Amino acid sequence: MDFTQTHFELFGLPQSYALDRNQLDAAYRELQNTVHPDRFAAQPDAEQRVAMQWATQVNEAYQTLKHPVSRGVYLLKLQGIDAFDASNTKMAPAFLMQQMEWREVIEEARAGKSMAALDALTDDLRAAHRRIEAHLAELIDTAHDFAAASEAVRQLRFMDKLIAEVGDVYEELET
């Protein structure tokens, strides 16, 4: 296993935030088909151990590239930048305002036990998520503005937390 290889190199993909999901999935399937422990279940221990290490690494690489936040964090890390550096917490006031508004919508939906309001909010949050992703691709791949990209990654993580909170409210209202 070559530990100097990037996750992008492992899957034979260009190093960019914009991602051809079909290509990633196909390469992932191909690699797991080759290295998965199920392919070595009848083989000696040495081969089974190597297979487990490889499959673990391939899973880790796939999960990192698949998720919008971790892919951004990883690309910035390759540039030597820590997107969640404690000294770097800048966030646009407009974005924070929007966050507060969304949180109010969640609270209202919870108080009013309104599934319809949660459904509508989920659609809004997912749309906003996609917009930030598109912006992030531009910042990293075209503008190479890594400071702004770090902020966009932090925004995406905020969005993920909000979406998870909506999930908790769904759960609360269902039971």
CA dist., res. 113 & res. 110, Å (int): 5
Token code pair at residue 50: 């190597």
Site map (CB under 8 A) of another protein, residues 123-152, x = contact:
------------------------------
CA dist., res. 31 & res. 142, Å (int): 30
- 65-93 in b/e form (b: 16+ CB < 10 A) is beebbbbbbbbbeeeebebeeeeeeeeee
Q: To the nearest 10°, report the CA torsion of 85, 6, 14, 58.
A: -110
Site map (CB under 8 A) of another protein, residues 38-77, x = contact:
xxxxxxxxxx-xxxx-xxx--xx-xx--------------
Which residue's CB is nearer to another protein, number 57 or number 99? 57
Binding segment (CB under 8 A) for another protein, from list 21-29, 70-78, 82-90, 149-157: 21-29
| Least Cβ distance, residue 141 to another protein (angstroms) | 20
Whether 17 and 72 have beta carbons less than 8 Å apart is answered as: yes
Size of the site for another protein (CB under 8 A): 42
Site residues, another protein (CB under 8 A): 1-2, 12, 23, 25-27, 29-47, 49-52, 54-56, 59-60, 62-63, 167, 170-171, 174-175
